[in-house]
Structure 1
Amino acid sequence: MFYVVILAMVAGFVALRLYMVLGKRTGHEQALPKPAEERAPITTLPRPIESAVEPREIATRNIDSKAEAGLRQIVTAEPSFDVGQFVEGAQSAYRMILEAYWKGDEEALDWLVEADVKTAFAEAIAARHEAGHVLENRLVSIERAVIADAQVEGKQARITVRFDADIAAVTRDAEGNVVSGSMSDAVETHDVWTFARTLKSNDPNWKLIDTDEA
């Protein structure tokens, strides 16, 4: 019984942390994050737009034009949805998910990603362990996070965010020898991640459902 209580306390803590990251007011095969040295070059951090209580024109300085209609649908369904806070939460989730993947922390990934994405991450983590490799990656900075698309299908809302980030990465073998990368040089990266949530549900959390590279 004591063990069950401890598990419940842990689950409650993680759920609260996720609510703060991607809560109500924050907004098949998967392409996994590659080591930074394999990423393609990228190119300003957008400012958040104001929340809306009812449908209205949405400022476009931090979103792609094709995302505007979908964001209006989301705001119409849930007036408390705040685009700016969602982008901030998405950046926090981006960091948490990358760090969990790099560390091989599958338990943390359970709370942040949907099943298909979790399976792909788990397979990559297993392959890495099998090879005896260890990642010592570090997210140096997120230079830009922009909402590239937003859609509502039935009750499910989907928001795609493009992250332009600097990542320092090094891969070591079982003996600690450097296989690739360098922690002294950050590599610019492009990632396009899609988060989803059921509108008007009791669960306020957005979860990662798809990853890709720009």
Structure 2
Amino acid sequence: MIYEIVILAMIAAFLGMRLYSVLGRRAEHEEEAIPTRFEDGKQAPPPAAAPVRRQAAPLPRPAGVVPAVERGVQEIAAADRSFDITGFLEGAKGAYAMVLEAFWQGDRETLKEMCDDDVYAGFDAAIAAREEAGETLDNRLIRIEEAMIHSADLDGRQARIAVRFVADIAAVTRDVDGNMVAGSLDDAIESRDVWTFSRMVDSPDPNWLLDETDEG
């Protein structure tokens, strides 16, 4: 009997040791930390981002051009590759000053060069009336406050661009003896005009003619 108990105890001990060896090893494996990509102290580079498609920024609109007339300006530029809206506006301001000065001084030759026949005829008639009355103008263009494209269109091969000018002008009218009869050189008056310039886009002459004047 004692012998059988000893045998059973030895068998139980053997099974216990086997069970411990299996469970103990499994526990040890379960306690082991799962290795990660960051254990080596070096952060893995982030995945490459998909390229972002960026739309090209629109070209800035030149000063003096509003959206409502931009299409006409683009049509003129397409028909005449040498056309530059910024240069045109600078030229228009110079023409505005020259035509006004020529009119005030009665310079018909300059007016004839810079205006079409109808506009020139209007200036010529006004100068003739002034001369008949024995009056002269002693006007001064103080400054051009604004020069803005008012309209632009291409009719066939003829380009027409209207520019709205806002300017300060000191106006004085003198009689035949030089006496001041109207106006003042000390008080400038704001003048608003819309002048239309035209040019054939295929003409070798780069100059624009003044073909219409109106109050703005």
Instruction: With the length of structure 1 as denominator, give the TM-score of the two structures.
Output: 0.72
Give the equivalent residue in structure 2 for 1:84: 86
Question: Separation in 2 of the partners of 1:184 and 1:72?
Answer: 42
Q: Which amino acid aligns with 2:166?
A: D
| Counterparts of residues 63-102 of structure 1 (less than 5 Å) | 63-102=65-104
Give the equivalent residue in structure 2 for 1:106: 108
User: Mean alpha-carbon deviation: is it higher for 158-167 or for 196-205?
Assistant: 196-205
For the Cα contact (< 8 Å) 1:64–1:149, is it kept in 2? no
Partner-residue secondary structure (3-state), 2:188? strand
For the Cα contact (< 8 Å) 1:166–1:187, is it kept in 2? yes
Partner-residue secondary structure (3-state), 1:150? strand
For the Cα contact (< 8 Å) 1:73–1:152, is it kept in 2? yes
Q: Which is bigger in relative contact order (C-alpha 8 A, separation at least 6)?
A: 1
Q: 1:65 Cα deviation (Å)?
A: 2.5
Question: Separation in 2 of the partners of 1:212 and 1:188?
Answer: 15
Gaps of 5+ in 2: 1-57
Question: Separation in 2 of the partners of 1:77 and 1:147?
Answer: 18
Question: Separation in 2 of the partners of 1:120 and 1:61?
Answer: 31
State yes or no: 1:185 paired with 2:198: no
| Counterparts of residues 53-202 of structure 1 (less than 5 Å) | 59=61, 61-202=63-204
Question: Separation in 2 of the partners of 1:171 and 1:64?
Answer: 37
Gaps of 5+ in 1: 1-55
Structure ID, larger Rg: 2
Instruction: With the length of structure 2 as denominator, give the TM-score of the two structures.
Output: 0.71
Q: Which amino acid aligns with 1:70?
A: G
Structure 1 runs of 4+ off > 3 angstroms? none
Question: Separation in 2 of the partners of 1:60 and 1:163?
Answer: 17
Question: Separation in 2 of the partners of 1:174 and 1:61?
Answer: 44
| CA RMSD in angstroms, aligned pairs only | 1.3
**1:4-33: CA deviations, max 9, x gaps?**
xxxxxxxxxxxxxxxxxxxxxxxxxxxxxx
Total equivalences in the alignment: 159
